[in-house]
Structures are given as C-alpha cells and as structure tokens.
Structure 1
Amino acid sequence: MAHLPIGLGRLDTLDVRTSAHLLASVREATLAGDVPPRPPRVVIGESWTRALSSGVDPDNGRRGAPLSTDEIEQRRQATALGAVLPVLRDGLVPVAEAAWHIMVVTDTEGRVLWRDGSVAVRRSADRLGFTEGASWAEDMVGTNAIGTALVTRTPLQVHSAEHFVRSHHGWTCAAAPLHDPRDGRLLGVVDISGPAATVHPATLSLVSAVARVAEGELRAGHWAAVERLRSIAAPLLARIEGQALAVDRNGWTAAVTGMAPTHRVALPVSVRAGQVWLPSLGLCALEPLPGGWLIRVNGRERPPAASRVVLDLSRPRDCVVTVSGPAGGWAQRLSPRHAELLFVLAVHRSGRTAAQLAADLFGDPSRAVTVRAELSRLRRNLAGVLAHRPYRFAEGVDVELVRPPRPLDLLPHSVAPAVLAARH
C-alpha cells in the first residue's frame, strides 16, 4: 500500500473551482506512491489510505446491490431523520435545484434514504449508481463527502479529484453529520451534490447550518417528551419514600425525589426491569414507565467497587466501555470525546494531569478547564473507576483496551494528537 504524505500542506487554501487539474495530479501521484506536486488535505489523504487498504477500485469503486423498496421504507421508519426531513428539504432543496444539485439524506451506513433536487442531476446520479438504497460508504466508493463525513463525524466538502474513484471526479459534494441530541448517536448525514463546475464556497456552510437547525428540532422534540414523562412521574414520585428518580429511555432526568437532582443518569446499553448496578448510583431497582424508567435507589448501600474495565474501540462508530465488579456488569456507548479521554488514560496507566490531557486531545496544555469539565462528567458516570490527581484508572481495576484490527481505524473521527500518533 502506498504511503500517503498528508501533513505537509493543504489544498483547501486553493480556489477549488480552478484546481481540478492540480487535484488530479495530486491524486495520481499519491496513489502511485510518488511525491505529489502538493500534498492532499489531511482528511482526504487519510481517507485515500483507508480506501486503498479496503481494496476499493480507484477507477470504478464497488457497485453493491441497492436496497429494495421495502428495505428502504423500513429504514426510513426506523430512523429519527424522517421527523426532520421537512426542515432539511425546506432549507436545502430550493438551493439545490437552483444550483443544479441534489440533496441526499443517508443513514449511518451511508445508505441513501432520500434524494431530491434537480431532475437532470438525478439522472446523472443514476448513471453513477447514486440512487436511493445505494451505499455511499467509504469502503464501497472511497473518499466522498457522505462516506468520509460518516467516518470523521465532521462537515466536509469533497471536490473533483479529491474523490477517490475516478468516475466521480466530475462531482462536488458537501455533507454534514446529523446526531441524535438525546445520546449523541450518529444518525446519518445530509449532503448536497452536483457538477464540479457549479461548486460554491458557501455550500458547506449552508449544509452545516441546516443540519444544526434539524438537530435543534430533534432536541425540542426530546425535551417535550421529557416534559410529558415528568407529568406522569411526578405524582408517582410524591408517594415514594427514599431516593428515586424518573428518567427517559436515554437517562435524561424528568423528576426526582429524596436526592439532589442529576441532569442525566448513564444507563446500560441494554436496560431491563429489575435490580441493576449503576456506577453513579449503586444498586437500584428499575421499573418501566411510559417513555422511560423509574429508578429506586438503595441509599443504604455504597456502590461496589469495579474490578474490570473493557474499553472497546474496535468498531469506529460504536465505542463502548464495559464495567464489571461484584455486583455485575454495566456497559455504555461513549461519545467521541469520552472515547478519546478513556483511550489516553488506558494507554497512560500511571495517570495524566489536566494540562497533559489537554495537550493529548487539543495540542494545547492551556485548555485544561475543558478537560476537567469532561472528566467531571465521566467520573459521575464511572464512579469508583476513575481517580484524579492525576487523572487515571483507579488502583486495582484491570483495564483492557480493544483496538481495531487496522491502526488507521482507531477513532477515525479524532484529530487529537495522541490518537493521531497511535494511529500512524
């Protein structure tokens, strides 16, 4: 596999409308293992490397079978993105049609669920296999705004020969990820694609802004659901002696009695009624409520100490920490930032100061306040697992770090210096 020089310059400082020839020269030289006239952008170079290692054909990509009509409809019904589709259409389709572009919404696998916009461009997209039900993930079609944004979890514009597959060089695309505000989970991306000659420098900003508006709509719906749960739970909690709280299915607190309010409770990946150990609360009894859970806290027992932690980073889009001890096991999905923090602490078992962690994550030791705030949230969820002064995993806790098979797949969304060093 060719080594990609990705840290010596940036193509995003060029006028992309006049740089197609240079981009093609950079791509050809880089994929051939030669020194390019100018290095690709870091995000593009890393994506080309992933595409090469995945065996994607640089000329034609992979043509997997699209989903059937029934499968597309099932995925549409299963995702929260359908609730914000009107917002995405209102904000982007008129612009897409005027600019001879199309708007595309995909799920987390890069499967195209909705497509709208210019009829002429949709016909051109059909010839590329860019249709509803098709996979536009990196391991299928290489570097593109949709698939690469799914990996990096950041807004991205890919122009002309920055696309890994040669047949896509006549296109430009700008995509922004969409997240579920209830748990930070990636839902998919929204994208605008069209002829490379019609690229506009404001397209990425527009797509990103509309994506944030859509997430705001999801957030408003979430808090309305929490308020409905509060109206149900408040009379019930008023009759309970001791400590108890009502939370929605993602752990957001709707009502509480007998204890200090907490913003959110970290629930296990799999929640069921009955006795459960929550590291932040100890042994609890869970009872189902419409839209959530009633948690009765056994305040007389201290949370038992954890004896083992497994930090599983082997699946880039689904990082999970599993904590086990005398009272049983508990697992939770991690946000990208918390995955970075726990990775660094798992590597540096002797501990890191806040300034050291700030350098590890941001390349800037002065951002220690940000690190302390994130670790405060983590320690509330992982009581007895994390210690401080310096920050580290507690003594006596056996920590297992599970990395992905390919180093390049280690937290691919991350630009933290510590992760970049471990990845390369």
Structure 2
Amino acid sequence: MSNGWQALQRGESVRERRRQLELAHERFVANDLPHSGVVSSLLRPVVLQSWLRSRDRTIDPDAAPLGVALSADELAELRRTHPLSVVLPVVRRLLLQEATESGFIVALGDAAGRLLWVDGDPKLRAQAEDMGFLAGADWSEAAMGTSAPGIALELNHSLQVLGAEHYHRSVHQWSCTAAPVHDPRDGSVIGVIDVTGGDAAAEPHMLPLIEATLAAVEAEMRLVRLRETISQDRPAASRASSRTTQAVMTHPPRLLVLGQDPAVLEHRGQREIVSGRHAEILLALTAAPHGLTGAELAERVYGSRDAEATLRPEIVRLRRWLRDLGVPLELASKPYRLDGVLNVDAHELLTALERGAHRLALAAYDGPVLPASEAPFVDELRLDVDATLRESLLQSAAAAPLFEYAQLWASDDFEVWHTLLTILPPLSPRRARVVTKLEALEASASEAPVQR
C-alpha cells in the first residue's frame, strides 16, 4: 500500500521520479490548465495541496530566498528559552552524528517555522545557506512554500519532500524529512525536527528514523517536566540558587562598517554612532591582534608615520568613549591593541565567502566599507571586500544570488551579466532580463567615444 507521507516507495527510481516532479512543477507554475490532470496524477495529494496553498499565498517560486527573520539577539533569546533547548543532547546522540557522517543537515525550528539550530555536514551547511536554510530563517509554509518542515507544521504530521516537490526552484536540488514536536503537557505543536540533504534525505528509511528520534525527544521533555514539578517542592532559596546557574547568553560588541557612514557599534542591544577616526582605528586594530606601534597605526589611519602626535589624542578619546559606554574592550598601548572581542560585519562577510555561503554574504553586504573614509587601511579593506565578493559570486555562486548581486551592485558590470546568461537554465524567466541588459551594455559601449 502506498504511503502518502513518503516521497519514494521502495524500489522506485529516484531519477524517474525527479523527472516527473520537474515536469509537474513546470506545468503547475505556468498555470498550464490543459495539463492540470497530468500534474495531479504526478503528485502526492499532500504536495499538491501545499502547492495550491503556496500559490494562494502568492509565493513566487523564482524569487530569491528570504533572509534571516531573527536578529542575533532574538535568535539567542529563543534558543535560551525554547523547550527544545533541553533535548539537544538527545538529538545529537540519536540523529546528528549519523546525519553528519552521511552528509546531511539536521535542523530544529520553533512552531512558527523559524530555524533555531542548524548543524551537520559543514560543506553542505554552507551550500544550504545559499537557499536561505540557516539559523534564524523562516521556513514556514507561509514564507517558503512547500518544504518538509513547513508542511510538517502546517499539517501536524511527519513527512518527506523530494527535489522539485519543493515550491521554490532554488530548493529543487534538496530533499528533506521532517516531523513536528509536541508539548508533553497538552500535545500542542512547539517545533519541528528536520533532516535535509540530497536524495538520500528522502529515502523511505529516513521517516522511521526521524520519528524514532521524535519519540525520544518527547519522552525526554516529559522527564524534564516531571523534574520541574518535583523541584517546585524545594525551598524557594534553593530554586533561586538553581536559576542563577543558568548563564544568560551575551554577544561581543559588533562594528558595522558596510555601507555605513558613520560606522555603528552594536552593544547590549544598543546602537551607537562611531566617529570616523574612531571607526578607522578600531578597524585597523581588529586586523592586528598582536598590536601596532604608534607609527604603524598612524600610517594605516592617516597615511603617514609622522602623524603619531595627531593619533595620540584620538586614542585617549576613543578609550574614554569605550569606557563610558561600558563596552568590554580595553584599548591597550605599547603596542596599541584591543583586549577583548570586537566583531566586524566586513570580516563576517569574508568568512561567509570562505565557507561558500554566498547567499549569507550577499545579505550582509550593504555597500562598500566606510565609503567616505580615505584612510589607507580602510581603502585596502574596501577593495578586498568588494573584489572578493564579486569574484566569489562569479566563480561559484548559483544563479539566484548572482542575479541579485547584478541588480543591486553590478548593474554596469558586463562580465557579471554575461556569466549569468551562461548559468541560467534555458527556460528561466530571468533570461529575457539578462539578455536585454547585455544588449544595453553593448550598445552603451559602442557609443562611448574612442580614447586616442
């Protein structure tokens, strides 16, 4: 008997099934009414119904994946307080280790479909970020259309989604198995467990594996609730002492310089404007963990080693400013260095590109580093970030992030648009836009005066 929650039946050809799904998706998205019966015959009812809901919600299957729905602070708070936080060891023991070894990703999300934890094969995680599958992203059916975690939450049932059963084209290379997690007290849905990867992530044996993990997770949650009930009989002082052992997650200060003029310092949920010179000094010192002499720092900020006398008063003012704000950074001297952690959005972007997380990097890019600054070190960093982003996207990005980059940041870059033309699928609706743009760029180049 066919199981409508499984993506594949035992012995079924994955290759043939994928071909059928691609055909069904193409006709459904094109609203090919004469072939609507063919579409229905090729799809499981649970998938067809999800596609219909996705279309009713006017979700664009060709749109770029959404960015993260949660800020870093919001994500940290949800992780700290969500009931699934207490069962992470169970998930790691029963599911994560095997998933990582098999080349899968394991994700846990809340009842709203927001991914709180994403772990597993590092290379696969970096690739998944390009389709927006990362901690803090919204993968509810209302946001992303058809996916295993989205339908699992929508219908309160475990299931699998294979390849082009996903509504978003950017997810067609992926498959997944997911199950909703229930509150042991009242049975309400509080979250979702998902395994994502290639075709193997939707093989028949994956569904009982994730359901067994779900059973263990819900059993562990019942034990936790029981312990909490018993602990209520302890003296109030003892309970208070126990609560103080739960450390509140804090984040290092973060300097925002991409497209910022002036720079902004994020600290304890506050945003503080940073003066131009102070931002330049902080940037230079974050790149020199072992410190810089006064002459070296002056050269990086002012362009001259002889500007050390001008630098010293700025150092004094910056040190006082950090102290007055309560920022956990100490500006030490001999040599000048930062004692403490300062995250920088430009450095985070470069790290994302190193991991191949092009979608994440592009979402983080708000423009050149401190565009008004003329400090030599800032000039170097600005060029490095812009060139690395461009080359990384040209060399290895998927069509969707490269198309977004072309529209936002490379409107006159012929090489970017030409590369897009070579990697877009033949039937992509974006090809017309790319061809039109290339023709306009070629016409503009031919009209430009010849330099003699």
Q: Which has the higher helix share?
A: 2
Q: Which has the higher strand share?
A: 1
Structure number with larger C-alpha Rg: 2
Give TM-score, length-normalised by structure 1: 0.50
